[in-house]
């Protein structure tokens, strides 16, 4: 009996659930309205500098600029893990970026499982609508299922942007990685 049990154990072990491979992060694009337009320059660097500048100063009463910066942060959190030329960033930088995205989503009442492209598109369109003072476009840009605070609540949050300390930590990691890897 014992011998039979020993023969069956390897078969049973082979039938147990295998840990699934981690899903690759979704890919996302920046809408043309906020995409950098500088051929030959790394868009991750340019967007990282733009978002980092906003989160360092964290200016109040500039909801259009805040919407753009939060859209850029969302894009970075999606784009960097997929970018081969940023693979040297390492786990800590990627963790800081993911934490920054989660902090930003929490602050803006965006569900953590919302599709990144919908968040990026909504915030980019909101930035344009706010800059143009177009209330109807703003309402269309911020659908309730993604922006659960609704357009008015989201704009209120963007007008007094919360601190996102992980965004600054991620920006510092990017800057040090860029300095370390750039030719001397």
Give residues with Cβ within 8 angstroms of 84, minimum separation 6.
none
Structural domain spans, the chain: 41-181
104: Cβ contacts below 8 Å, ≥ 6 apart: 70, 73, 74, 110, 162, 164, 167
CA–CA dist 124, 175 (Å, integer): 24
Q: State the number of CA atoms in the 13 A half-sphere of 175 facing the CB.
A: 11
- Closest C-alpha among 78, 96, 65 to residue 29: 78
- 0.85 surpassed by pTM: no
- How far is it, in rounded angstroms, from Cα 89 to Cα 152? 37
Q: What is the pLDDT along the chain (184 residues), one digit of tens a residue?
A: 544 433 443 333 344 343 333 444 578 888 988 888 878 888 888 898 899 899 999 899 999 999 999 999 999 999 888 887 776 666 777 888 889 999 999 999 999 999 999 999 999 999 999 999 999 999 999 999 999 999 999 999 999 988 888 888 877 776 676 666 544 4
């Amino acid at each position: 009996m014992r011998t039979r049990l020993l023969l069956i154990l390897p078969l049973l072990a082979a039938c147990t659930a295998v840990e699934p491979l981690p899903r690759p992060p979704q890919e996302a694009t920046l809408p043309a309205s906020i995409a950098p337009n500088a051929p030959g320059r790394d868009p991750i660097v340019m967007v990282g500098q733009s978002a980092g500048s906003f989160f360092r100063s964290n200016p109040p009463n500039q909801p259009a600029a805040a919407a753009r910066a939060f859209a850029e942060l969302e894009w970075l959190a999606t784009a960097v893990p997929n970018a081969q030329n940023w693979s040297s960033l390492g786990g800590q930088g990627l963790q800081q970026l993911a934490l920054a995205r989660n902090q930003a989503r929490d602050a803006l009442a965006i569900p953590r499982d919302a599709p990144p492209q919908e968040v990026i598109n909504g915030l980019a369109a909101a930035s344009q609508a706010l800059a143009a003072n177009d209330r109807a476009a703003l309402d269309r840009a911020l659908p309730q299922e993604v922006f659960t605070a609704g357009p008015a609540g989201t704009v209120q949050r963007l007008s007094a942007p919360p601190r996102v300390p992980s965004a600054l930590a991620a920006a510092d990691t990017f800057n040090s990685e860029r300095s370390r890897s750039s030719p001397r």
